[in-house]
């Protein structure tokens, strides 16, 4: 057999097509547009507002410090001996003289707790009187129609401008003839006669802000004025009642003039009169004990203001809408 001398050759390889991509271009440089005049003014306004906010807060902090300085000084003075109280105006105590509190509690003829209880009795009775009578008088002025209503309301507002020093003499003569001087009754009975016209006006404004449709719906159901007042309007008057309570508490607790006129027996002294007893023009005065008991006496006022602050703001804001 003849063999083929030619060698087998491999078939030629197929040429693969290469993908050609366009040359990569460099990323364009981000060009930020120039700020417009409006943007510049906006940034300046924002910076100005921030500066004004910082200045405002600094001023408020300084005002708070100025307002609280007397209280802080009194607190520090209550922990100093009497000889260092007026010689050192600093509010940083160097020594803690706790004896002022123990001595001040028993320095007078009665323990200081007696005067706290007396003040609490007068305050609670005054609050009850203002809440009951002022709310009823306010309902009469705001919802009822009677003869001489507007002149009576105007006369009530005029009494707000009459200072107590004008009426204290005839009132003292009246209570003296009734034999009630040197008792708590001259301080309590007027509160049950709606003599605090400010609270009556406060509640009148609040009731006028309530819709009269509530009264009409209750009247259709057969409710009288008593049921409308106690069951419908009175529960809605919580902010005004809370405001009356807080103001009556603070004003009665801090009252000095009327209580000094009517109370002469030391066992009937209230807190404001008892604090005055620590200072004597003829003998030595105990300022440290007085400052110590003053710090004790402001604790109830601070507590009632803290717990009733929400109702206080709400009541004043609501009554000022109309």
Give the C-alpha separation, 168 to 317, whole Å. 33
Q: How far are the Cα atoms of 55, 68, 83, 106, 292 from residue 88, in angstroms, in the given order? A: 32, 18, 9, 27, 17
How much is the pLDDT for 33? 58
How much is the pLDDT for 46? 81
Q: Where are the domains of the chain?
A: 108-319
How much is the pLDDT for 260? 92
How much is the pLDDT for 36? 66
Give the C-alpha separation, 269 to 307, whole Å. 27
User: Phi-psi category of 45—alpha, beta or left, where left has phi over 0 and alpha has psi -120 to 50?
Assistant: alpha
Selection from 241, 271, 261 nearest residue 123 by Cα: 271
With contact defined as beta carbons under 8 Å apart, do 243 and 312 qualify?
yes
Selection from 310, 299, 309 nearest residue 119 by Cα: 299
Q: How many CB atoms are closer than 10 A to CB 153?
A: 18
How much is the pLDDT for 308? 80
Mind listing the pLDDT tens digit for each residue in 24-57? 555 555 455 556 666 666 677 788 888 899 999 9
Weakly modelled stretches of the chain, pLDDT under 50:
1-7, 30, 321-322
Contacts of 90 (CB under 8 A, 6+ apart): 76
The separation between CA 232 and the C-alpha centre of its own chain, rounded to angstroms, equals 27
Give the C-alpha separation, 98 to 293, whole Å. 12
Report the top-level CATH class of 108-319: mainly alpha
How much is the pLDDT for 86? 83
Query: What are 203's two structure tokens?
Result: 């509640």
Give the C-alpha separation, 89 to 153, whole Å. 50
How much is the pLDDT for 321? 46
Query: What are 19's two structure tokens?
Result: 């993908």
How much is the pLDDT for 2? 46
How much is the pLDDT for 15? 52
Helical ranges in 144-196 per DSSP H: 149-160, 164-177, 185-188
The separation between CA 231 and the C-alpha centre of its own chain, rounded to angstroms, equals 28
Query: What are 284's two structure tokens?
Result: 């030595």
- Look-up: residue for tokens 């005065």? 285
Per-residue exposure over 195-212, b if at least 16 CB sit within 10 Å of its own CB, e if not = bbbbbbbbbbbbbeebee
How much is the pLDDT for 39? 61
- Look-up: residue for tokens 């030619």? 6
Give the C-alpha separation, 191 to 129, whole Å. 5
How much is the pLDDT for 255? 92
């Amino acid at each position: 057999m003849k063999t083929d001398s030619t060698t087998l050759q491999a078939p030629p390889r197929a040429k693969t097509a290469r993908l050609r991509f366009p040359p990569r271009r460099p990323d364009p440089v981000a060009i930020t547009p120039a700020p417009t005049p409006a943007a510049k003014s906006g940034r300046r306004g924002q910076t100005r507002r921030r500066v004004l906010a910082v200045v405002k807060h600094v001023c408020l902090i300084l005002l708070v410090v100025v307002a609280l300085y007397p209280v802080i000084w009194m607190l520090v003075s209550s922990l100093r001996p009497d000889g260092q109280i007026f010689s050192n105006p600093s509010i940083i105590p160097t020594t803690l003289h706790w004896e002022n509190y123990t001595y001040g509690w028993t320095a007078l003829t009665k323990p200081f707790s007696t005067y706290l209880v007396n003040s609490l009795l007068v305050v609670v009775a005054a609050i009850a009187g203002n809440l009951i009578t002022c709310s009823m008088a306010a309902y009469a002025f705001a919802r009822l129609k009677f003869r001489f209503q507007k002149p009576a309301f105007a006369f009530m507002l005029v009494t707000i401008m009459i200072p107590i020093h004008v009426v204290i003499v005839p009132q003292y003569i009246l209570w003296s003839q009734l034999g009630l001087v040197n008792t708590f009754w001259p301080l309590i009975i007027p509160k049950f006669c709606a003599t605090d016209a400010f609270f009556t006006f406060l509640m009148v404004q609040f009731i006028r802000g309530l819709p009269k449709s509530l009264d009409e719906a209750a009247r259709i159901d057969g409710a009288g004025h008593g049921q409308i007042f106690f069951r419908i309007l009175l529960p809605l008057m919580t902010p005004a009642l809370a405001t009356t309570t807080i103001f009556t508490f603070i004003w009665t607790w801090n009252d000095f003039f009327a209580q000094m006129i009517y109370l002469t027996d030391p066992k009937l002294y209230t807190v404001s009169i008892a604090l005055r007893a620590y200072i004597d023009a003829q003998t030595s005065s105990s300022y440290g004990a007085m400052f110590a008991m003053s710090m004790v006496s402001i604790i109830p006022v601070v507590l009632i203001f803290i717990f009733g602050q929400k109702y206080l703001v709400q009541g004043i804001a609501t009554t000022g809408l109309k």
